Structure 1
Amino acid sequence: MKDFIDELNQPVMRSHELRDKNTVYLPSKELIRQKHGKDKQALKNELLNMELTFLKQYNELREYKEKDRHYQESSKNNSSVKR
């Protein structure tokens, strides 16, 4: 059980530099395969986690785009009112 908990506490991470401001780092399929390739259940779990990560990022992007659209519309309306 301890080994299983230790494994869960060590997610597959890709190294990256802190100065990259606009880069999105996605899970590395190769690292996942290397780490969990022989354990089918762990591989399934990691792939599910990857899918959930993509879904979360997609939803966040959609929300940001919607907020930006509202902001742009508000800015446009405000500038037309000032004239």
Structure 2
Amino acid sequence: MLRPHPAVLRRLVDEYEALAAAVPASDPAAVSARARDLAYTLCVSTGTRDVERALEVAHQWLATAPAPARETIQQTVTGQHVPTPEPA
């Protein structure tokens, strides 16, 4: 199974958890369309059918993912420092 890039997975988890925290547990109907879209994407990305299980799997994967590449500085011919973008 293909796995999403850790940075993409981290953004999905962070956004879903922020939206879920903003909705009172007593009102599941208040879940936004964006939260439902994120839940679906997390499930597809992790190969699960339940968002709670998807979050568990995502957190496990993120815990074992390599550390993000640090931005490096390259020097151009003109002597200016140019940050190297991280790979997509």
Higher relative contact order (CA 8 A, sep 6+): 2
TM-score by length of 1: 0.30
Q: Work out which of the two has the higher radius of gyration on C-alpha atoms and give 1 or 2.
A: 1
Structure number with higher helix proportion: 1
TM-score by length of 2: 0.29
